[in-house]
Amino acid sequence: MNIYDSLDTNDLILQINKLTPSTKPNWGKMSLDQMLTRLNVAYLKAFTNKYTPPNSVAKFLLKLMIKKGVVVPKPYPKNVRTEHQFIIKYAKNFDEEKKKLISYIEKVRDRGNSNFKGKKSHLFDPLTVKEWYVLFTKHMEHHLTQFGV
């Protein structure tokens, strides 16, 4: 899947539209609305300054210890631990979160890969176009698989 490509993005949106409020996870404790919100947090971090970035020492350690696990194509294992800012504790509105997610996907597609060349990430500072691609799609594919689409 190429999140910068219209055809692939349309396929991804079709997958997301297969989700219904009654869709249950194949593993994990997260509800569907929490999963959608969690994916939206990743995009919020890419497009806004809503979340405070880690300090320079923490950022250095994150780059050293987890960056490769996040921006290489190898899939995440099931039930992997998550960063605290991605933990969604309360129920959210399914339809609103789904619309937001689709809007973010379209925003990435419309801006194109050149917009992400050397763009700073919340945790790792500048990433390559390919690293942004993996960051967006790997997390999405992990959770869509978790919910059976």
- Write the pLDDT tens digit of every residue in 90-100: 778 999 999 99
pLDDT at 146 over 80: yes
Report the mean per-residue pLDDT for the chain: 88
CA distances, 83 to each of 18, 62, 88, 131, 147 (Å)? 27, 11, 11, 18, 20
Higher pLDDT, 83 or 133: 133
CA distance 37 to 48: 15
Hey, what are 14's tokens? 């079709």
pLDDT higher than threshold 90 for residue 63: no
Of the ranges 42-56, 92-106, 107-121, which one carries the lowest mean pLDDT score? 42-56
Rounded Cα distance between 19 and 120, Å, is 31
Whether the pLDDT of residue 84 is over 80: the answer is: no
Instruction: Give the percent of the chain with pLDDT over 90.
Output: 46
pLDDT at 73: 84
Query: How would residue 76 be classed by pLDDT, with cut points 50, 70 and 90?
Result: confident
pLDDT at residue 86, rounded to an integer: 66
pLDDT reported for residue 74: 85
Region 48-76: mean pLDDT is 79
Where do the domains of the chain lie? 6-146
Please state the rounded mean pLDDT for residues 70-81. 81
Write down the pLDDT at residue 15: 96
